[in-house]
Amino acid sequence: MGSTSERRPPVMADVARVAGVSHQTVSRVLNDHPNVRAETRTRVLAAIDQLGYRRNFVARALVTRHSRRLGVVSFDTTLYGPASTVYSIEQAARTAGYFVSIVSLRTIDRAGVRDALDYLADQGVDGIVVVAPQRSAAQALDDLPAGIPVVAVEGGHAGDISVVSVDQVAGARMATEHLLDMGHDTVWHVSGPSDWLEAEGRIAGWRDVLTAAGRPVPDPLDGDWSPRSGYVAGRRLAAMAGDVTAVFVANDQMALGVLRALAEEGVRVPEQMSVVGFDDIPESEFFSPPLTTVRQDFGAVGRCSIEVLLRQIEADGPLARERLVVPPEFVARASASPSRRPYGNVQN
């Protein structure tokens, strides 16, 4: 039986011995220092693979005061938007050379957010990204752990911290203007949950366009982001077919439910009712008919949030609050078409 010392994990000195270089050269390779010859770097990396060497991040953090680890706090990652946002943040962090620790909360309240932030701070993360699409989450960011950089995604006002978000108002304006430009008298709206900042922005953009155009502004039909809630709204819209010719739905999942309800009630899309969604989920181009929608660039959101966070981490002192807005993109497909009813026949 071998001794305990024979079974110990390899250390940096072992890598240096196998590669035939100094301890300092191994350190330079591990830290991606530019002043290392390519042949030497290759030899060190080969020794690392041969030995199965793993870096001691705890020891490294004590020396550099940086753990190369970031924290992410998220909510309801079963939804496409939050899940895509967290994925893009993690990929951007890894590209920048950071590992990510994720805390996903089931409920959003000040205590839960505070516990998540404290947990990540205790793990020694260098900074934290909080995906805060709900107003209660954004308000919970008013009380943050001292000394840790924090960036909010879709965080509304989010106190005095930096925020990265998609321009929800602009996206809703695109959708509504597209339908009005097609000759529809007005545009109905199936909204997201009232406490979601994204839902607020989409309602605001939709309402602004109708008001500016002097068109009737119908009461929004309430949804909760799910296809089922879209289906319920779609049944109500189908009952008003003829008077309602266009609807902007606050996300593609609800739009799927709307399309199903209209099909069951014999309302043809887009011939009798045009439908526009929001998000551009991967399945939307395969809906029947393919869904016209508004695309959010979640990859850009992830990259921007990590860039902002790293600027704060690397700064010598506190930085001014940043507000980065990612523009949406309109995607025209087959679920919206020109109105077949002359403008002016709308009924209030």
pLDDT tens, position by position, 289-345: 999 999 999 999 999 999 999 999 888 666 678 999 999 999 999 999 999 865 555
Residue type, 209: V
pLDDT score of 348 = 42
Residues 290, 192 share a domain: yes
Reported as a pLDDT band with limits 50, 70 and 90, residue 7 is: low
Reported as a pLDDT band with limits 50, 70 and 90, residue 144 is: confident
Residues 302, 162 share a domain: yes
Please report where in the chains the tokens 């900074």 appear, as a residue: 127
Q: Is 65 left (phi over 0), alpha (psi -120 to 50) or beta?
A: left
93 domain residue, yes or no? yes
Q: What is the C-alpha separation between 341 and 348, in angstroms, rounded?
A: 16
Q: What is the C-alpha separation between 191 and 230, in angstroms, rounded?
A: 9
Distance of CA 93 to the CA centre of its chain: 14
Comparing 333 with 104, the larger pLDDT belongs to: 333
Which of 23, 103, 78, 83 is CA-nearest to residue 224? Answer: 78
Residues 233, 304 share a domain: no
Decide if pLDDT at 171 tops 90: yes
Average pLDDT on 176-203 reads: 96
341 domain residue, yes or no? no
- Average pLDDT, rounded, for the chain: 88
Residues 290, 177 share a domain: yes
209 domain residue, yes or no? yes
Highest mean pLDDT among 58-72, 149-163, 334-348: 149-163
Cβ atoms < 10 Å from Cβ of 87? 14
What letter does residue 280 receive in the DSSP assignment? Answer: -
Hey, CA dihedral for 78, 79, 85, 88, is it positive or negative?
positive
Distance of CA 292 to the CA centre of its chain: 21
pLDDT score of 343 = 55
Residues 252, 234 share a domain: yes
60 domain residue, yes or no? no
Q: What is the C-alpha separation between 261 and 35, in angstroms, rounded?
A: 64
Decide if pLDDT at 58 tops 50: no
Average pLDDT on 249-265 reads: 98
What's the whole-model pTM score? Answer: 0.80
Residues 155, 250 share a domain: no
Residues 254, 139 share a domain: no
Which of 306, 207, 297 is CA-nearest to residue 248? Answer: 207
Average pLDDT on 151-172 reads: 87
334 domain residue, yes or no? no
pLDDT score of 30 = 76
Residues 117, 200 share a domain: no
Q: Are 301 and 91 in contact (CB under 8 A)?
A: no
Q: Are 12 and 26 in contact (CB under 8 A)?
A: yes
Copy the structure tokens of residue 252.
């593609």
User: Structurally, how many domains does the chain consist of?
Assistant: 3
Residues 223, 106 share a domain: no
Range of the domain at 115: 68-166+298-326
Average pLDDT on 282-294 reads: 97
Which of 307, 312, 311, 304 is CA-nearest to residue 149? Answer: 312
331 domain residue, yes or no? no
Residues 237, 201 share a domain: yes
Highest mean pLDDT among 108-112, 147-151, 257-261: 257-261
Highest mean pLDDT among 75-79, 111-115, 121-125, 185-189: 185-189
Residues 309, 225 share a domain: no
- Residue 181's alpha-carbon distances to 104, 184, 296, 332, in angstroms, are 42, 7, 22, 13
Decide if pLDDT at 169 tops 90: yes
Residues 263, 185 share a domain: yes
Average pLDDT on 203-232 reads: 98
Which of 76, 79, 77, 59 is CA-nearest to residue 67? Answer: 59
CATH number at residue 34: 1.10.260.40
CATH number at residue 149: 3.40.50.2300
Average pLDDT on 283-291 reads: 97
Average pLDDT on 107-132 reads: 86
Decide if pLDDT at 286 tops 70: yes
271 domain residue, yes or no? yes
Q: Are 315 and 249 in contact (CB under 8 A)?
A: no
- Residue 148's alpha-carbon distances to 121, 145, 211, in angstroms, are 7, 6, 43
Average pLDDT on 35-60 reads: 79
339 domain residue, yes or no? no
* Coil/strand/helix, residue 311: helix
Average pLDDT on 244-267 reads: 98
Q: What is the C-alpha separation between 157 and 130, in angstroms, rounded?
A: 13
Average pLDDT on 83-102 reads: 93
DSSP string, 51-117: HT----HHHHHHHHS--SEEEEEEE-TTSHHHHHHHHHHHHHHHHTT-EEEEEEESS--HHHHHHHH
